[in-house]
Structure 1
Amino acid sequence: MVLGLLAVLLTGCERAGRPDGAPPRPVDPGWRSLTLPMPPGAPGRPLLRDATACAGRWYVVGGVADAAGATRPAVWSSVDGVTWSLPRLVPLSFYGRQQVLYAAACRAARLAALGTVSGGAHGNPRVGSWIEGADRVVREVPAPFERFGGPRAVSASRLVAGPHGWLIVGSRVDGAAVWASTDGAEFTLREGLPELAGDRRGRTAAYDGSAVGTGWLVVGAVLPAGGTALSPLAWTSSDGVAWRRAELPAPGGRGQAQRVVSVGGAVVAVGPVGDGFVAWRAAAEPVADGAAARWRRAGAFAAAGPGVAVVAGLTAVGSGLLAVTRTGAGHRLWYSDDLGGSWRPVTMPVAVADSGETAVAAAAQGERLLLMADDGRGPHVWWTSGPALGGGDGSRSLPNTWN
């Protein structure tokens, strides 16, 4: 059995700001079919949850659910995006054998991932980490239960990689927290850190991170003491231990910074504010030294539908940005070629609702983009190549300053 895998060349894209004042038309993709192998083991429905790429390798992670609802982890790997293989997985624990991998990062052509499955008397998430070895085998990493779980656990949301290591971004009962590792296997929990964790100013939460220079940038939000709405925050650190906090400008101080990426000499964060989404931008240089970033609002775009607005992904594609959002109307794609200043919609190749059984994620290397989607019925993956996302001749200049 094989899974449908499609390659897409995006064409016919128009720039924002058409002469007639109408909203920009979405990028209209065309498709070419490829295939992914079915993971070994009992028949079931493949589950796609995240994608990552680095050093010429591409990865999609997730799992397989059988007819009875039992799950097991799965990884797909490729060196060209056309021919895919299934690395051998070695789970070491009872829960590891049932986990679905939901977050992935890549460094030096080596995959690390987080997996989860509900378990125990109370059905709480049982989170674990996985690492790819030099032999291309992906192994579960043994860890004490309270590294990711226990009475202080809240979330281990995202996994990011940088030149000097790996960082898991999430939250504990006292606010934002991180887990740091030099090898992607042994992670050290760092919770209750000044400025990063909550304090008398309010309770913090961290949603995403990015390596910048030799340091780290984390984004999230704070619920101010006595307040009823979240406010967007960002933190920077040169060592993952000492953190500096910065407030991001938002109307009435309300909003969240949910995804962040480094691109074109800047760092760009995106999150929901009011009834839409806002992009913030800061210069990368001070962030790389661990200094607090000076953020400014770069641009905004409307949420395409009712319900809770969430930024599910943000990927640098060459010098551009692809954002994945979701609302009650489902998942949507948005592209910016000016570091978040303006955005145009990108047509989704399939409709993907917003539910606990669906996911959309993207990964890129240079101008090559991989988009994966799980619509709850089956997995889908597409490619785009070249500057097609930006449309035109690619002559639009980037801002002269980022802050």
Structure 2
Amino acid sequence: MKLRGVPATMLGVAVAAGLSGCGGHHEPAEAALSWRAAPLPAPAGDRAMVRGATWCGGRWVVVGATADPRGRTRPAVWASADGKRWATLRLDPGDDYYAARAILGSVGCAHGRLAVLGAKSGGAHGNPRTATWRQLNDGSLAAGPARFELYGGPSAVAVSRLVGGPRGYLIAGTRASGAAVWTSPTGSPFRLHEGTRGLASTSRVRTQALDAAWLRGEWTVIGDSIDRTGRLIATAWTGSGDGPWRPARLPGGSTITTAERLVPTAAGPLVVGVDDGGFGVWSERGGGWTLESTFGRVDPGATSAAYVSGAALAGSRLVATYSDGERYRFALGPPDGLVEAALPAPVTVGGDRSVTVATHGSELLLLTDTGRQGVVWLTRIQR
């Protein structure tokens, strides 16, 4: 299926879900999803690059960039009340050279306002130049000034994901000292918390943070701990700011587990990540973590990393997008039994390609980027 120049009148694509490995559910399952694609406005000749989405202030918001035929990028934010008709939001990068060329990768919502995280590689060493954007009273977004060492510098490792909550915004990431977070009540400026007790690396483990959510009056951050043998262990931390943070290892996996996407629910957090040669769903109930189920598998001939690229709750169903190391895949179902469903368009792993997902109620917004064109797909999950 060609994705370049998808028309607004494209018919919905019916997709039948197939059976995948899942803990406790081995019977065949069918789930018909009717996908509808929507084009995103972009300058003539440019392509849309889609990277993250959320529901905020009564509308869908998608972040990413546009790229011209020579590969030159400009940050972009699109908004839509119905997921069908999209408009761009005005962005002000100020005098920041890299912000004006950034690819926006993560978006959070707090009190109906947006904050966005983006980066552009450059400089003498080609390192990512990270910036955050804050929504102003007129609805536009402005890049926030930040000293280089706030996200970069000699202690930089990774700036992973921005999320919103009742206390404002938090960015999960990693510094030379291990897992770290950045916090802001308004979206600008952000304050770095590194070397924090319970969250940072110790003499026994090295830590990294990948995602976060506000739950039960505090932040939960998830990521990995690497022990002295090199084993990767899925880990969750609870706390705030300078801590102290309380770490908890997630069970499962004899060789590797990762905690990559965190989904808040009324019953508690759900975590999706890699579990040995497949993927797992963990839940936390009553202070303890349980491996709810496993699904999918890592391609044994994979040439790229396997990881979870998105997860969200649609009604009572968990939805997840993930890379098996060769191509992106999609799974849905109750947390104790996800099954694989076909994507509306195939996307192989590599380069500027990506797939992720966001939800609002029973609506599901899927982002696919083949490296040639980014597309937004909308469907509704039947409970």
Matched residue of 1:146: which SS?
Answer: helix
2:61 corresponds to which residue?
59
* Partner deviation per Cα, 1:78-97 (whole Å, 9 max, x = no partner): 12222211111101201111
Flag structure 1 segments of 5+ consecutive residues without an equivalent.
287-292, 389-393, 395-403
Say whether the 8 Å CA contact 1:220–1:258 is kept in structure 2: yes
Equivalent residue in structure 1 for 2:253, among 251, 254, 262: 251
Cα deviation, residue 316, structure 1: 1.3
Equivalent residue in structure 2 for 1:295, among 285, 289, 303: 289
Match status 1:220 vs 2:220: no
1:400 corresponds to which residue?
none
Deviates more, 1:328-337 or 1:252-261: 252-261
What count of residue pairs does the alignment treat as equivalent?
Answer: 373
* Partner deviation per Cα, 1:222-248 (whole Å, 9 max, x = no partner): 1112x1221111100155632100111
Say whether the 8 Å CA contact 1:277–1:301 is kept in structure 2: yes
Matched residue of 1:355: which SS?
Answer: coil
Match status 1:343 vs 2:346: no
Q: Tell me the distance in 1 between the aligned counterparts of 2:280 and 2:19.
A: 19
Q: Tell me the distance in 2 between the aligned counterparts of 1:8 and 1:247.
A: 42
Q: Which amino acid aligns with 1:241?
A: G
Say whether the 8 Å CA contact 2:34–2:379 is kept in structure 1: no
TM-score (norm 2): 0.90
1:401 corresponds to which residue?
none
1:397 corresponds to which residue?
none
2:329 corresponds to which residue?
332
Matched residue of 2:212: which SS?
Answer: strand
Match status 1:200 vs 2:194: no
Equivalent residue in structure 2 for 1:152, among 151, 155, 174: 155
Cα deviation, residue 356, structure 1: 2.6
Equivalent residue in structure 1 for 2:268, among 248, 266, 272: 266
1:290 corresponds to which residue?
none
Q: Tell me the distance in 2 between the aligned counterparts of 1:334 and 1:17.
A: 11
Cα deviation, residue 31, structure 1: 4.0
* Partner deviation per Cα, 1:311-369 (whole Å, 9 max, x = no partner): 111111122211111023300011122xx211111210001111131111111111111
Distance 1:217 1:271, change over 3 A: same
Q: Tell me the distance in 2 between the aligned counterparts of 1:31 and 1:365.
A: 16
Cα deviation, residue 304, structure 1: 5.4
1:88 corresponds to which residue?
90
Cα deviation, residue 108, structure 1: 2.8
TM-score (norm 1): 0.86
Match status 1:384 vs 2:379: yes
Match status 1:321 vs 2:315: no
Cα deviation, residue 107, structure 1: 2.3
Cα deviation, residue 130, structure 1: 0.7
CA RMSD of the aligned region, Å? 2.4
* Partner deviation per Cα, 1:256-287 (whole Å, 9 max, x = no partner): 1111111241211111121101111113xx7x
Say whether the 8 Å CA contact 1:195–1:244 is kept in structure 2: yes
* Partner deviation per Cα, 1:59-113 (whole Å, 9 max, x = no partner): 1111111122211101101122222111111012011111110111122332211
Matched residue of 2:189: which SS?
Answer: coil
* Partner deviation per Cα, 1:361-394 (whole Å, 9 max, x = no partner): 1111111111111011111111112x43xxxxx4
Q: Tell me the distance in 1 between the aligned counterparts of 2:137 and 2:148.
A: 27
